[in-house]
Amino acid sequence: MQTRKRFSVTGCLKITAMAGALTAAALPVQADQWRGWNIHPPGYPNSEALESFAEEVAEKTDGRVEPKVYHNAVLGDQPDAIEQTRSGALDFANFNMGPMGPIVPATNVLSLPFIFNSVDDMYTIMDGEIGDRFADALAEEGLIALSWFGSGARSLYNTDHPVKTPADVQGIKVRVMNNDLYVEMIDNLGGNATPMSYGEVYQSLKTGVIDGAENNYPSYETSGHYEVAKYYSLTEHLILPECLCIAKSSWEELSEEDQKAVRTAAENAAETQRQLWEERVQKSKQTVLDAGAKINDVNDKAAFQEKMQPIYDDFVKQHPELESFVTDIQAAQ
Ligand code: BDP
């Protein structure tokens, strides 16, 4: 005979419902608060794109992931932020592939001067199979690259004369991003390269610690460098992709469904960034011209390209395993 007291079915349901309500009240589902690094000020194309990424992620994951973007490099300079993202101390970021080179050697291929013929070629190549190979190399170092932003073409600027031939670079002190390839690049033109973080450049130009730097129009403008270094010479020596990267540890914590949502949001953010970029280039160019910057064409680019040949030769000698990256990019254009 059954002596144990049985719960009635309705009693059971009531208890289950109560337990459910209690769990829901006591243990609300914790949103993942994601911290995102950005070097640029609010309003910059990349900043707007990161904000739209954050919004879309929060919405599409129903608030399970709540990304917040920290602008203006308040969380550290770029090499530092790359390390923080690799270790999972930061969750996502927009990184330029220049300062990535010392950490992910394959990405140095992208820093070989004049490797891309145009921004469009860069987009086509990075959006395809070759771009996936760079993403694989980044993943091995703890960074999940979900989409590629553009950063236009970088040109040289300096305080006291236009650069029209390599001889005009002779003896000038030029700030470069943190990567030995850029030191070689400026040295080969006869200048003195000074690696320095982005945030220090304005003051260093002002005080004469350096004579010039190199960047695209939007950064030349928003950093205020044009106020001090007014000769902007269209060398267009670097066309660098940037990633929207997620820390591997943050990525792996996501369900498959949320990974899908985050990836789509990153792809949409890249589309937004690329569109805003085009508009911003025109706007920035006008702003610097209005402020008295002198922009000059460089008619003989081949003279600059020739000086870069030893960099290519050294590079493939030192990294034979990366030679196919170089030749595949060249063959794709
Ligand atoms: C900008 C890049 C940024 C770099 C900066 C620099 O978007 O990631 O840190 O140049 O020169 O164009 O350091």
Q: In terms of domains, do 297 and 198 share one?
A: yes
- Cα 40 to averaged position of ligand 1 atoms, centre (Å): 8
pLDDT for the residue 8: 36
Q: Is the CB of 182 under 6 A from ligand 1?
A: no
pLDDT tens per residue across span 257-303: 999 999 999 999 999 999 999 999 999 999 999 999 999 999 999 99
In a domain, 8, yes or no: no
pLDDT of residue 209: 98
Shared domain check, 176 and 58: no
- Distance from chain centroid for Cα 187: 25
Domain shared by 80 and 176, yes or no: no
Instruction: Please tell me whether residue 296 adopts helix, strand or coil conformation.
Output: strand
Name the 3-class secondary structure at 292. Answer: coil
Residue with tokens 């460089």: 298
CA of 290 to the centre of ligand 1 (A): 23
**Same domain (yes/no): 100, 131:** yes
Residues 84 and 216 both lie in one domain: no
DSSP code string of 233-285:
EEEEEE---EEEEEEHHHHHTS-HHHHHHHHHHHHHHHHHHHHHHHHHHHHHH
Residue 278, φ and ψ in degrees, nearest 5: -55, -45
Contact predicate 193/174, CB 8 Å: yes
Band (28; pLDDT cuts 50, 70, 90): low
Index of the ligand 1 atom closest to the CA of residue 218: 12
Residue closest by Cα to atom 6 of ligand 1: 198
- Is the pLDDT at 237 greater than 50? The verdict is yes
CA distance 283 to 306: 32
- Asked, for residue 320, whether it belongs to a domain, the answer is yes
pLDDT tens, residue by residue, 160-188:
999 999 999 999 999 999 999 999 999 99
Question: For residue 197, which atom of ligand 1 is closest to its CA?
Answer: 13
Query: 190 and 261: one domain?
Result: no
- For residue 47, tell me if it sits in a domain: yes
If residue 57 lies in a helix (H) or strand (E), which one and from where to where?
A: helix 45-60
- Domain count of the fold of the chain: 2
287 and 220 in contact (C-beta within 8 Å)? no
Residues 222 and 183 in one domain: yes
Name residue, tokens 């953010």: 269
- Look up the domain containing 117 and give its range: 32-150+241-283
Task: Please report the pLDDT score of residue 27 as a whole number.
Answer: 55
In the numeric block, which tokens belong to residue 330? 């060249």
Atom nearest to 154 CA in ligand 1: 12
Give the position, in ligand 1's atom list, of the atom nearest the Cα of 219. Answer: 12
Beta bridge partners of 95: 243
Nearest CA to ligand 1 atom 9: 198
Q: How far is the CA of 132 from the centre of ligand 1 (A)?
A: 23
Residue 203 domain flag = yes
Average pLDDT, integer, range 216-236: 98
- 96 CB under 6 A from ligand 1? yes
Tell whether 212 and 249 lie within a shared domain.
no
What is the average pLDDT across 145-174? 98
To which residue do tokens 């991003």 refer?
177
Answer yes or no: is 15 within a domain. Answer: no
Q: Per the domain annotation, does 288 fall within a domain? A: no
Residue type, 208: G
Pocket test for ligand 1, best of 215, 242, 284 (most atoms within 8 A of CB): 215
| Same domain? 161 vs 219 | yes
- Give the closest residue (by CA) to ligand 1 atom 2: 96
Length of the chain: 333
Using the mean position of ligand 1's atoms as its centre, give its distance from the Cα of residue 195 in Å: 12
Distance 292 CA to ligand 1 centre (A): 23
pLDDT for 30 equals 83
Locate the DSSP E strands across the chain: 32-37, 65-70, 92-96, 143-149, 154-158, 173-176, 192-195, 212-215, 231-238, 242-247, 294-297
Rounded alpha-carbon distances, angstroms, from residue 250 to 148, 154, 247, 262: 19, 32, 5, 11
Cβ of 151 below 6 Å from ligand 1: yes
Percent of the chain topping pLDDT 70: 92
Both 47 and 180 in a single domain? Answer: no
Does ligand 1 come within 6 angstroms of the Cβ of 219? yes
Same-domain check for residues 38 and 127: yes
Query: Rounded to the nearest whole angstrom, what is the distance from the C-alpha of residue 128 to the centroid of ligand 1?
Result: 24
Dihedral, 219, 220, 222, 227 alpha carbons, nearest 10: 170
Q: Is 215 in the pocket of ligand 1 (CB under 6 A)?
A: yes
198 C-beta closer than 6 A to ligand 1: yes
Please indicate, yes or no, if residue 24 is contained in any of the structural domains: no
Q: What average pLDDT score do residues 98-124 get? A: 98
154-158, strands of its sheet edge to edge:
192-195, 173-176, 212-215, 154-158, 231-238, 294-297
Cα gap 59→62, rounded to integer Å: 5
What integer is the mean pLDDT of 134-138?
98
**CB 149 less than 6 A from any atom of ligand 1:** no
Ligand 1, atom 3, residue with closest C-alpha:
96
Distance 24 CA to ligand 1 centre (A): 45
pLDDT digits (tens, 9 = 90+) for 49-68: 999 999 999 999 999 999 99
Find all residues with CB under 8 Å of 80, minimum gap 6, and list them: none
Tokens of 164: 């029209």
Residue 23 has pLDDT above 90, yes or no: no
Q: Give the CATH number, domain containing residue 40.
A: 3.40.190.170
84 with 118, same domain: the answer is yes
Residue 23 lies in a domain: no
- Give 124's pLDDT tier (boundaries 50, 70, 90): very high
As a whole number of angstroms, the distance between CA 256 and CA 101 comes to 30
